[in-house]
Structure 1
């Protein structure tokens, strides 16, 4: 049944792809504005459906942080709608030429931006992803097949219906925005092997989901999401700034992939820093798990295991390790990091540049919170995910990352 459902949606998406290949920029923007208006107008319906998901999550013992990630409010819906309008204001990536050249034989060759085609996205508990993904795909002239997690199924069904209903009067086919209603593993597996209908598959969620898609998909995959993010606190840093950055990166939304998970502290730092950091984290109810040296300087720290340095907490927990210096910090990041976002906090210019050059991640910061790794914060509008690989796309994936290219060649009778 799941495979058949994906096949039906895939056929519709292929039909929509043909329409989207020739749709005008103005019509796409009109569709996006229609979606934004429809989201606001249907706020009560969205909240009603979202409440079902939140109550189910609470009944199933989902953590407070994950429930916050799932929950929608009137303000969040308005924010999502405002994000749609921002995407409408962005330049259209389709049709523009990356370069054009005229060969000695008179051929004019241009490299032109084109859609990927049909984009499949498998994701977990954040209903805003449903909207972000759909509008980015529409703006970049891609049809999209969405498959959310069971935790947000009611919210996702409502959002997908509202969006498709909003654009249908403008002539957009049903397959422009599709949502797989089946949240079983079977539907995910069907999408992973739907090469006839899906051109690229993007998993967005926790490590187990992403690893399953990467290992099992025959459809080309863009790997995104897992964010075991680190902050290296140099001994030459502003203590207040360091504490502010760490607290913000850990606690502003601990359940998202750009949240901070591990702090690495230079052993030569003044001992007063430890109390300042511990007091600030304790005020936010953050549990510290640290190395043996940490247990000597933090009053409330618990002994960290290797797994504490290896995995995302996505919760009010942070791992801490005291290191000899930047080289040990970089070695730790290289061993445990997921190539998402890393930050150095220092007043030393040379150390900052060394860290920028040496840390292997999609986003590397000096003296700023990792929470800025986000399409909106980078000026890309909404994002479809944070790519942690190096091929095709890396970092926040906005409109340009949802395109490919083809060469168009103009001649006047040339033969070879």
Structure 2
């Protein structure tokens, strides 16, 4: 085996052992460990910020985009929010052991579907160091061991956060191997994780979750021999219907695009009904707020013209494409052709139009009269999130505790035989 394969084989074998312990830990033991981890993060704030300053300096020198730098940047408020997120996970309902349903067969055999941990989860992510804490907390609470492989741009931040998390977990009896950080930035380690299906006799990863750009996700999907929970582009739309309240529409559009441009819930395309009384008022608000606007036919001749590629672009920056559409039908058609099945919103007072939009737009999250920036596990009451899944199987939308479990059938008999 290569050095990377040997490393990942060792990590997965140790993770499998830890997963067996985690699977049977009582809820209060997991919660106590996570609260200790949150306290450790707070105590380690100076070390975490110093590590992040090193990463930020390197990333700035390397010419990372403003959006990437925003994802990477930590300050006292973000460290506090990270710790609060870990503590919040400790207070969530434990899905492990929950009975999904129960049936009694005619012969008296009782069958239950019961939630159980997935086992060993690999997280491959870029830029966002908070994922180190979020993913570890969610995995542990759901009874899973986790192997974390962050991007090279956040290596020092990830190491500091991981060290604090593990110190808190271990102090409360959780195995140190419950949350492991891949110690190298060698890209070969990613390849080794993607092929860690147990076929070489070493421990296996049961699920890979990629969090990053299109290149990372494409590589994971192309190379993985391990099941993947994918998060594709956030090409998100806000459709302003002709019935929309103009003030509400303006507030939602500005927030959806500009609250944080580098998050996956940011609006990238604004669709405006031809029946809306003043489309340029929305565009002018965006421009005044510092957004570059690229417009489709029928809109201002003084603004840059959108090209075909714009409708399929996740800018992750203060850039938006804007198109006029023919009512809710036009909006649904546009999203079907160009959307990424992530998050799409309608602003309307017409309930019939909104109901059609919510029913027919095939995205993981659809919203009525609310900003797309609510596409976040914390805002959904899930505590932290491990990512937003845009596929159709296993989990969809913000993936938190329940999304990190599977189930098994448990039968209770009184001596039944098939005969």
Q: TM-score range by the shorter chain?
A: over 0.9
Question: Secondary structure at the residue paired with 2:299?
Answer: helix
Q: Which residue of 1 aligns with 2:297?
A: 292
Q: CA deviation at 1:22?
A: 1.1
The alignment covers a number of residue pairs equal to 411
Once the two structures are superposed, the pairs formed by residues 350-369 of structure 1 within 5 Å of their partners are 350-369=352-371
Quick one: distance in 1 between partners of 2:163 and 2:38? 13
3-state DSSP of counterpart to 1:409: strand
Partner of 1:227: 234
Please report the TM-score for the alignment, with normalisation by the length of structure 2: 0.96
Residue range with higher mean Cα deviation, 395-404 or 323-332: 323-332
Q: Which of the residues 220, 238, 247 maps onto 1:213?
A: 220
Alpha-carbon distance in 2 for matches of 1:241, 1:413: 64
- Structure 1 position 133, deviation (Å): 0.6
Deviation for aligned residue 1:184:
2.8
Is this contact kept in 2: 1:110–1:408, CA < 8 A?
yes
Counterparts of residues 150-161 of structure 1 (less than 5 Å)? 150-161=152-163
What are structure 1's unaligned runs of at least 5 residues?
Answer: none
Alignment partners' CA distance in 2, 1:287 and 1:335 = 23
What secondary structure does 1:303 align onto?
A: coil
Q: Which residue of 1 aligns with 2:255?
A: 248
Question: What is the rounded CA distance, in whole Å, between the counterparts of 1:295 and 1:8 in structure 2?
Answer: 60
Contact 1:239 1:273 in 2 (8 A): no
Query: Unaligned regions of 5+ residues in structure 2, if any?
Result: 199-203
Which 4+ runs in 1 deviate beyond 6 A? none
TM-score by length of 1: 0.96
1:309 is matched with: 311
Contact 1:205–1:226 at 8 Å: present in 2 too? no
Moved more, 117-126 or 101-110: 101-110
Map 1:55-66 → 2, pairs under 5 A: 55-66=57-68
Q: Is the 8 A contact 1:12 1:174 kept in 2?
A: no
Aligned to 1:146: 148
Tell me by how many angstroms 1:225 deviates. Answer: 4.3
2:284 aligned to which of 279, 284, 290:
279
- Output the CA distance in 2 between the equivalents of 1:5 and 1:47: 29
Match of 2:201 in 1: none
**Partner Cα separation in structure 2 for residue 363 and residue 128 of structure 1:** 23
Question: Of residues 275, 279, 285 in structure 2, which corresponds to 1:268?
Answer: 275
- Alpha-carbon contact 1:225-1:385 (below 8 Å) kept: no
Distance in structure 1 (CA, Å) of the matches to 2:125 and 2:61: 21
